[in-house]
Amino acid sequence: MIKVTRLNGEEFYINPDLIQYIEKTPNTVITLTNDKKVVVKEEVEEVIERIVAFKRQIFCSFQRNDGLAGE
Amino acid sequence: MDIATLAGIIAGISFIVAGIMMSGDLGNFYDAPSIMITLGGTLAATLISYPIKNIIGIFRVTKNLFFTKAKDPNGIIRQIIELANIARKEGLLALEEAAYKLEDPFMQKGILLIVDGTDPELVRNIMETELTFMEERHSQGQAVFETMASLAPAFGMIGTLIGLINMLKKLDDPSSVGPNMAVALVTTFYGSILANLFFTPMANKLKHRSAQEMLYKEIMLEGILSIQAGENPRIIEEKLKAFLSPQEREALHHNSTAGEE
């Protein structure tokens, strides 16, 4: 899950796998696959970075576990 | 100012008065006890039917029938497009300042909600609830008029019965039967006039007003959600135009081109 901030400063986490597209309108509007729209404070690039970081985190821990199982 | 309400009432009364004068004497149609029975009875029965708050509310509603100026849907759409432009250029937060300048509290509330970053789903929910209850409130005013419309002819009927009973009690003088019968029927006349010239049309106008206001608010709601979704102002315009009749769309087009020149 990645952390995003609503316009009123409230922070919450969003499942990046459900993101359909992100628009800059110039506010960042994230549309989820269920057609829900979320307006967030972060820039588009920032959101993408966080997604990448999150995926990397998952992938790394997966590799570690995999390594342990192989031993 | 709604000319139609006033014009309708004046025209209605003058046509009836003229019609009476052409074939008879207006004095025949004036009878104080009859007025007391029909008007007084209708008002009293309405008091029984509704809580006092609704009855007092009726006076304000009646004032609206004459003095409300019709809102222009094109004006609302143009306002929304303007806001959409601000949102596209400077972001949603820039709308806060613009929101305080808005006259319509409903629109203002919607814009402030999206500035606060409220979930679109929730914005729709809040606004739709407000709409539902606005319609509910409107229908209360209509209901009072509708009740009065259904009661007035009934009291006219009762007045006629009273007149007939009084007449039949003193039937020994055959020459008085005609005039007494006429007086008795005057109440039915009053009841029908009250119901058909005043109360039913007023209820209809209120209904129409309410429907129109609902339409405007729905346009606003759709517009506000579109702004939040960051849609293109031109697309928003097209989307909102769908609410309007072809003639009104034409007017919007003329005005927007006139504004650009």
CB contact under 8 A, B88 and A29: no
Question: What are B135's two structure tokens?
Answer: 């319609």
Write the single-letter amino acid at B145. F
Half-sphere exposure of B70 (CA within 13 A, CB side): 14
Local confidence pLDDT in tens for the 71 residues of chain A: 999 998 888 899 999 999 999 988 888 989 999 988 888 889 999 999 999 999 999 888 877 766 665 54
- Whether B88 and chain A come into contact, CB under 8 Å, resolves to yes
State whether residue A32 is helix, strand or coil: strand
CB contact under 8 A, B119 and A38: yes
CB within 8 Å of B213: residues ≥ 6 apart? B71, B134, B138
- Whether B89 and chain A come into contact, CB under 8 Å, resolves to yes
SS3 string, B202-250, reads: HHHHHHHHHHHHHHHHHHHHHHHHHHHCCCCHHHHHHHHHCCCCHHHHH
Nearest CA distance, B118 vs chain A (angstrom): 8
Token match 């029909």: residue? Answer: B38
- Whether A18 and chain B come into contact, CB under 8 Å, resolves to no
Rounded to 5, what percent of chain A is helix, strand, coil? Answer: 40, 30, 25
Local confidence pLDDT in tens for the 261 residues of chain B: 678 889 999 999 999 999 999 988 888 888 898 999 999 999 999 999 999 998 888 888 888 888 877 778 888 899 999 999 999 888 888 888 888 888 889 999 999 999 888 888 899 999 999 999 999 999 998 999 999 999 999 999 999 999 999 888 888 888 888 888 888 899 999 999 999 999 999 999 999 999 999 999 999 999 999 999 888 999 999 999 998 888 888 877 766 554 443
- Whether A53 and chain B come into contact, CB under 8 Å, resolves to no
Chain B: residue whose CA lies nearest to A34:
B121
Measure CB to CB from residue B229 to each of A9, A10, A29 and give the nearest one.
A29
CB contact under 8 A, A39 and B114: yes
Question: What are B216's two structure tokens?
Answer: 């405007």
- Whether B71 and chain A come into contact, CB under 8 Å, resolves to no
User: How far is B219 from B205, CA to CA, in rounded Å?
Assistant: 21
Task: Give B229's contacts in chain A (Cβ within 8 Å).
Answer: 25, 29, 37
- Whether B112 and chain A come into contact, CB under 8 Å, resolves to no
pLDDT, position B261 = 36
* B195 close to B152: Cβ distance less than 8 angstroms: yes
> Among residues B171, B170, B164, B166, which one has the least CA distance to residue B188?
B164
* A32 close to A19: Cβ distance less than 8 angstroms: yes
Task: Give B226's contacts in chain A (Cβ within 8 Å).
Answer: none
- Beta bridge partners of residue A3, listed in sequence order: A13
Quick one: how far is CA B7 from the chain centroid? 16
Task: Give B119's contacts in chain A (Cβ within 8 Å).
Answer: 36, 38
For chain B, the distance separating the N- and C-terminal CA atoms, rounded to the nearest angstrom, is 31
What does chain A come to in residues?
71
User: How far is B195 from B65, CA to CA, in rounded Å?
Assistant: 16
Nearest CA distance, B120 vs chain A (angstrom): 7
Residue B103 has φ and ψ, to the nearest 5°, of: -85, -40
Write the single-letter amino acid at B19. G
* B10 close to B124: Cβ distance less than 8 angstroms: no
* A37 close to A15: Cβ distance less than 8 angstroms: no
Write the single-letter amino acid at B201. P
The sign of the dihedral angle between the CA atoms of B156, B161, B162, B164 is positive
CB contact under 8 A, B92 and A27: yes
Q: How many CB atoms lie within 10 A of CB A63?
A: 10
CB contact under 8 A, B230 and A25: yes
pLDDT, position B257 = 54
Residue B219 has φ and ψ, to the nearest 5°, of: -60, -45
Helix-then-strand count for chain B, H and E: 12, 0
Predicted ipTM of the assembly: 0.74
Task: Give A23's contacts in chain B (Cβ within 8 Å).
Answer: 230
Chain B: residue whose CA lies nearest to A41:
B117
> Among residues B105, B82, B104, which one has the least CA distance to residue B95?
B82
